[in-house]
């Protein structure tokens, strides 16, 4: 694990650079800050990954398959410069390049908790937050559907009879408006001691529209005994764009190496009837129910309002490999 905190920022994005009057193109400057003992290793890996990503981008873009580009460290050795020579990118292409460069490319597979396994924890958290605001408040049944946390997070309870509720067996513990997620995150930090130590919560990547509001799902991920995901991107040998035979929507087919396939077979075999969450760069794209053991080392990313362009970007990021550190783009 790299102990250094590294921040990479795109400092310059311009449609014109020149050493000669007729030269033009797109130039991007990436600045990296790291502790001295890890700096060269991190810079070299960033250059390698970025070069692969830009190469795959050019191969996929009409008219750019023969484009010339260079990626190199600057003279002061603190920056990486990417030059696409004689190429002026459109607005959408610029957005794609920035997305390719700033995405860490972290793919993870998690086992999950279900809400019925955590409902008491969320109830106690809601009560604790309410008592913080009013120490003399007495907890009663109303905290199942109101209170500081549940006012914002619409939890996964079903009413099965008048006055009787049942927690759903789903990894989605609740849904909330996108504008409320930061407040909910803070509440869950304040009540962290009430939840299992191996619980990790993550929001879905794309909102659904409910009553003209953007709504995200909160997914309960279960950490492995060593506080990691069940499987990560190192298990991936290849990825490609496909289209669903069910609805024609784009999806990403992932193929795993031998070790990954063995782990995937074990993970799916141990979770039949439960959900496995597929997480990319910290957001949940898909959390399907496992119906059977999967022995062939394949998995599919779909959902999350995935577009063809977005799927191509993710495929290229997965093929190029993961950046060693998160990257922040400043335009």
- Per-residue pLDDT of 204-232, as tens digits, reads 998 998 999 999 999 999 999 999 999 99
- Per-residue pLDDT of 317-331, as tens digits, reads 999 888 887 766 544
Q: Radius of gyration over alpha carbons of the chain, in Å?
A: 23
Q: Tell me the domain boundaries of the chain.
A: 7-102, 108-112+225-319, 115-195
In whole angstroms, what is the distance from residue 63 CA to residue 322 CA? 27
- Per-residue pLDDT of 11-38, as tens digits, reads 444 444 434 444 567 888 887 666 667 7
Predicted local distance difference test score (pLDDT) of residue 296: 92
Task: List per-residue pLDDT tens for the chain, 331 residues long.
Answer: 333 334 444 444 444 443 444 456 788 888 766 666 778 888 888 889 999 999 998 888 887 877 888 888 887 777 888 888 877 777 888 888 888 888 888 999 999 999 999 999 999 999 899 888 776 666 554 556 688 999 999 988 887 888 777 889 999 999 999 999 999 999 999 999 999 999 999 999 989 989 999 999 999 999 999 999 999 989 999 999 999 888 899 999 999 999 999 999 999 999 999 999 999 999 999 899 999 999 999 998 887 678 888 899 899 999 988 888 776 654 4
Q: Which residues contact 107 (CB under 8 A, 6 or more apart)?
A: 232, 233, 236, 254, 278, 279, 280, 318, 322
Which numeric CATH code is attached to 7-102?
3.30.70
Is 316 in a helix, a strand, or coil? helix
Angle between helices 36-60 and 91-102 (to 10 degrees): 140
**% the chain with pLDDT above 90:** 45
Q: Which residues contact 252 (CB under 8 A, 6 or more apart)?
A: 239, 240, 241, 242, 300, 301, 302, 306, 311, 314, 315, 318
In whole angstroms, what is the distance from residue 6 CA to residue 27 CA? 22
State the fold for domain 108-112+225-319.
Answer: Gyrase A; domain 2 (3.30.1360)
Q: Token pair of 2, please?
A: 């790299």
């Amino acid at each position: 694990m790299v102990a250094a905190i590294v921040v990479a920022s795109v400092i310059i994005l311009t449609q014109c650079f020149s050493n000669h009057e007729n030269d033009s193109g797109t130039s991007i400057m990436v600045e990296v800050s790291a502790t001295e003992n890890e700096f060269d290793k991190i810079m070299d890996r960033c250059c390698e990954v970025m070069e692969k990503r830009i190469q795959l981008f050019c191969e996929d873009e009409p008219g750019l398959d023969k484009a010339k580009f260079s990626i190199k460290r600057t003279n002061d050795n603190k920056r990486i410069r990417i030059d696409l020579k004689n190429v002026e990118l459109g607005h959408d292409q610029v957005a794609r390049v920035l997305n390719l460069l700033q995405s860490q490319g972290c793919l993870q597979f998690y086992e999950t908790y279900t809400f019925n396994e955590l409902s008491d924890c969320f109830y106690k958290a809601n009560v604790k937050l309410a008592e913080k605001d009013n120490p003399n408040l007495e907890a009663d049944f109303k905290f199942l559907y109101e209170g500081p946390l549940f006012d914002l997070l619409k939890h996964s309870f079903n009413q099965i009879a008048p006055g009787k509720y049942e927690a759903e067996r789903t990894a989605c513990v609740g849904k909330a408006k996108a504008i409320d997620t930061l407040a909910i995150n803070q509440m869950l930090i304040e009540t962290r001691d009430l939840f299992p130590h191996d619980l990790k919560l993550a929001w879905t990547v794309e909102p659904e529209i409910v009553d003209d509001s953007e709504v995200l799902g909160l997914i309960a991920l279960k950490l492995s005994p060593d506080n990691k995901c069940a499987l990560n991107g190192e298990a991936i040998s290849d990825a490609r764009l496909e289209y669903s035979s069910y609805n024609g929507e784009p999806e990403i087919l992932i193929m795993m190496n031998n070790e990954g396939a063995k782990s995937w077979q074990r993970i799916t075999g141990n979770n039949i009837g439960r959900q496995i969450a597929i997480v990319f760069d910290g957001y949940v794209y898909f959390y399907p129910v496992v119906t059977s053991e999967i022995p062939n080392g394949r998995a599919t990313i779909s959902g999350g309002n995935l577009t063809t362009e977005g799927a191509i970007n993710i495929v290229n990021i997965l093929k190029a490999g993961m950046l060693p550190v998160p990257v922040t783009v400043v335009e």
